[in-house]
Amino acid sequence: MSKRRIPIVPVSAAIAEAAGQPSLTPHPADGGAAPARRSAPAAPGGIEPLSPATAPGALLDRLGRPLRDLRISVTDRCNFRCTYCMPREQFGPDHEFMPHSELLSFEEISRVAALFVKLGVRSIRLTGGEPLLRRGVEKLVEMLAALRTPEGEPVEIAMTTNGSVLARKAAALKAAGLARVTVSLDALDDAVFRAMNDADWPVADVLAGIDAAAAAGLGPVKINMVVKRGTNDDQIVPMARHFRGSGHTLRFIEFMDVGATNGWRMDHVVPSTEVIRRIDAVFPLEPIGRDDPAAPAENWRYRDGAGEVGVISSVTRAFCADCTRARLATDGRVFHCLFASDGHDLRWPLRNGADDDQLTGMIAGAWWARADRYSQLRGEGGTRDGRVEMSFIGG
Ligand code: SF4
């Protein structure tokens, strides 16, 4: 019987550590000065918030990376059981998902998101689990779309979804203020797709969702394909062929060792160089680089003008040096890396009277203390156990 619950931890040890230990690596944004300054009163429960070390918009972590992107997991549930994310052996019928009362409410999410925006976030992506399974998620989109940066600009609100119910939701999401959607799709062949999602879900529903998203104005739609050798790598060229000329951008993601349950092995990884070589042999490509330095995908253009594909080389070519993403998990913990093993709890202070200054100080202090670079370390031969599951913090 599998009953896996993520324990709620007290507020980050890293924050307290950063506050109390001047021996930490001098912060680049602080000119090497003593790390943190306390100014806000202690939050309930002995939480020691920090003041942002820099002006809003210039907050940097210990590796000099700004805070720019926030991924919010709105549910730990999913109707798929993709073997690399929520394998059925671990997430079977008796798996205990979080009770609704433990999820952050839309009001709590919006409040935290507003503070992240104040600190530099310019792009918010809703994830899960499957975000469209959270009832009324359109309302949350609407609340987030109303956020404004300190300069008065709107924040881009995007969503990553498995697409299974997108056809029904696309128009309402657009009306609520969603800007773009990324759809996970690992195969075009129906049998391969049903096997990979392990829920017997037909590929036709996802393709209909992609069409509906494009028709609703949620494009250009990005399509993410996780490539696992021996499972769906024979789908690389058929997927490329299908989406060429569609206006959508297909991106190939190297199979990663996310969480602790997906049985990752290096020989399951199809390196991005091989993906590009296989497509190029049929549809010639040329490199065009990244959309921006912090974007995970490197883009390639079809030489005949039929659009672009992207590759996300999380394993073979780590891009941690430019990683500007924070993740707000379903239970209100903040993680600073997809491969993190521990987060900084914001739900407790949120529900116990912390004011915005205190919460801002906690978020800023935690980012200030961030040194995560898991993929880079993996590439150098180091790994670590205890990673939180991707369905909990979003992909
Ligand atoms: S491994 Fe962590 S730090 Fe590196 S790019 Fe991925 S999420 Fe960012």
Residue 180 backbone dihedrals phi, psi, to 5 degrees? -145, 160
- Give residue-wise pLDDT tens across range 66-81: 999 999 999 999 999 9
The verdict on the CB of residue 323 being under 6 Å from ligand 1 is: yes
What is the dotted CATH code of the domain comprising 1-33+40-45+57-395? 3.20.20.70
The verdict on the CB of residue 337 being under 6 Å from ligand 1 is: yes
Residue 258 C-alpha to ligand 1 middle, in angstroms? 11
**Residue 249 burial class via C-beta count within 10 angstroms: exposed 0-12, middle 13-18, buried 19 and up:** buried
The residues with which 124 forms a beta bridge, in sequence order, are 70, 157
The verdict on the CB of residue 319 being under 6 Å from ligand 1 is: yes
Give the Cα separation of 334 and 356 in Å (integer).
16
Which atom of ligand 1 lies closest to the CA of 338? 7
The verdict on the CB of residue 253 being under 6 Å from ligand 1 is: no
Residue 318 C-alpha to ligand 1 middle, in angstroms? 8
Assess contact for 138 and 218: CB atoms under 8 A: no
**Residue 312 burial class via C-beta count within 10 angstroms: exposed 0-12, middle 13-18, buried 19 and up:** buried
pLDDT at 314: 87
Residue 120 C-alpha to ligand 1 middle, in angstroms? 18
Residues 6+ apart with CB under 8 A from 134: 74, 75, 103, 128, 140
The verdict on the CB of residue 69 being under 6 Å from ligand 1 is: no
User: Which of 106, 30, 107 has the alpha carbon at shortest distance from 74?
Assistant: 106
Give the Cα separation of 159 and 141 in Å (integer).
9
Three-state secondary structure string covering 358-392:
HHHHHHHHHHHCCCCCHHHHHHCCCCCCCCCCHHH
pLDDT at 257: 77
pLDDT at 52: 42
CA angle 111, 335, 128 (to 5 degrees): 75
DSSP 8-state assignment for residue 296: S
Residue 280: in which H helix or E strand, if any? helix 272-282
Residue whose CA is at the smallest distance from ligand 1 atom 7: 337
Assess contact for 204 and 212: CB atoms under 8 A: no
Which atom of ligand 1 lies closest to the CA of 378? 1
pLDDT at 378: 81
Residue 225 C-alpha to ligand 1 middle, in angstroms? 18
Low-confidence ranges of the chain (pLDDT < 50): 1-57
Residue 375 C-alpha to ligand 1 middle, in angstroms? 6
The verdict on the CB of residue 390 being under 6 Å from ligand 1 is: no
Which atom of ligand 1 lies closest to the CA of 376? 4
Residue whose CA is at the smallest distance from ligand 1 atom 2: 337
Is there a binding annotation on residue 374? no
pLDDT at 395: 60
pLDDT at 222: 98
Is there a binding annotation on residue 65? no
The verdict on the CB of residue 374 being under 6 Å from ligand 1 is: yes
Q: Where are the domains of the chain?
A: 1-33+40-45+57-395
Assess contact for 354 and 47: CB atoms under 8 A: yes
- Give residue-wise pLDDT tens across range 122-153: 999 999 999 999 999 999 999 999 999 999 99
Helix (H, G, I), strand (E, B) or coil at 184: strand
User: Which of 325, 254, 326, 319 has the alpha carbon at shortest distance from 293?
Assistant: 319
Assess contact for 113 and 142: CB atoms under 8 A: no
Residue 338 C-alpha to ligand 1 middle, in angstroms? 6
The verdict on the CB of residue 335 being under 6 Å from ligand 1 is: no
pLDDT at 266: 87
pLDDT at 47: 34
Among 337, 367, 370, 393, the mutation site with the greatest number of ligand 1 atoms within 8 A of its Cβ is 337
For the question of whether the overall pTM of this predicted structure is more than 0.85, the answer is no
The order of strands in the sheet holding 156-161 is 285-289, 298-302, 308-312, 249-254, 222-227, 180-184, 156-161, 123-127, 69-73, 325-328, 333-335, 344-345
Residues 6+ apart with CB under 8 A from 204: 190
